[in-house]
Structures are given as C-alpha cells and as structure tokens.
Amino acid sequence: MRKGEQTKANIIAKAADILNQKGYYASSLSEIMEATGLKKGGIYNHFGSKEEIVTEVFHYCVNKLDAHFQQAVSRHSHAADQLLALIDAAKDLYHGRPVPGGCPIMNAAVESDDAYPFLKEKANQSMNRLLARIASIIKRGQRTGDIRTAVDAREVAVFVVSTIEGALMLSKLRDEERPLRTAISSLTQYINQFVRNS
C-alpha cells in the first residue's frame, strides 16, 4: 500500500470511531483533524467532500460488521448453529465491537431518516445485504435438512434483525445490556424450537 493510500485508510479508521459514535453529520471536521493529526487540506487531499468521507467511513464500518458476523458463522457447519452464532455475535455491538458506537446500519438509518437521503439509501442497501445473508443461511439449511422447509427465510431474517436492532436501541437508551440479552435468549429459543429441523 502506497503512502497516500495508507494515509487515507488511517483517516477512515480514525474517523469511523468518531462518526459511528457521535453521528455521521453531527461530527465535525475539526474532530477528525484532531484524531488524525492532519489539517483540513491534508484530509481533503484524499476526499472531495464530507459526503465522500461519510461514504467511506460507513462502508468501512459495515465491512467490519460483515467480517465480524462472517467469523462467528464460519465456526459452525449446521445452519441453525450459524444463525445462533450470528445472533450471539450481535451482543458485541453493544460493547463497541467491531466498531465503537454500535451497529453502523442502525446508526446511519436513525440519523439519516429523511434528512439525508444519500445516507439512508446506503443504510438500506447494507440492511438488505444483511437480511439476504441471513436468508441465505436459512435456505442453505433447508437444502441440507438443517432447517425446516416450512420456514420462510425472508420472514425469519426480518424477525431476527428487527428483534436485535430493537433490543440494541433499548439497551443503548437504558445503558444496560439486559434488553439485548433477553432478545438473544428469546431468539435462541425461537430458532431451536421453530426453525431448527433436528
């Protein structure tokens, strides 16, 4: 990696810690400058606008989230166990792993709402990929006999993600992990009783 690419990657990594915690648009350029040790010109030498910084940081955070989930899933061969591993890995988001500030998709969706359609669209695309990943695990499990054939893969994916994201928000509001732990426990019971085939 060339020096310019290293500098850009460093800006993205350090800006991610700020933007995903404080907000993509609420965070100031001066905070990024302080974190990176660069002046305004040094940052804009690598990015054309704040929107470009937001885009790169959002993708960086989502890629870290994807890798986190993939690592958890890869430890298991049974599709139901893969679902449970992904669900369990979500508790790390409350503790600021794999990126500080929690789920980057939820953070971007809440912040963007209708005010920042560009960021809302990025969050929507990322959410669709997450839902598709979960549905893919279920469909593969149905082909191998791990998952009940009567299960609707898309509906289960939406149910899992909605439950986790809602619990994450409640845990953040209350500054306690209990709502998230409760949701994970309930989802685990649901997967084992109604989704798992054996």
Global pTM exceeds 0.95: no
CA distance 1 to 9: 10
Neighbours of 116 (CB within 10 A): 17
| pLDDT tens digits, one per residue of 34-71 | 999 999 999 999 999 988 999 999 999 999 999 999 99
The residue extents of the domains of the chain are 54-195
- Per the CATH hierarchy, to which homologous superfamily does domain 54-195 belong? Tetracycline Repressor, domain 2 (1.10.357.10)
Q: Does residue 57 sit in helix, strand or coil?
A: helix
12 pLDDT tier (thresholds 50, 70, 90): very high
CA distance 19 to 175: 20
- Give the pair of three-digit tokens for residue 80: 């139901």
Give the pLDDT of residue 113: 72
- The H-assigned helical ranges of the chain are 3-22, 29-36, 40-44, 50-73, 79-89, 91-94, 104-112, 117-144, 153-174, 178-190
Give the pLDDT of residue 32: 94
CA distance 190 to 198: 13
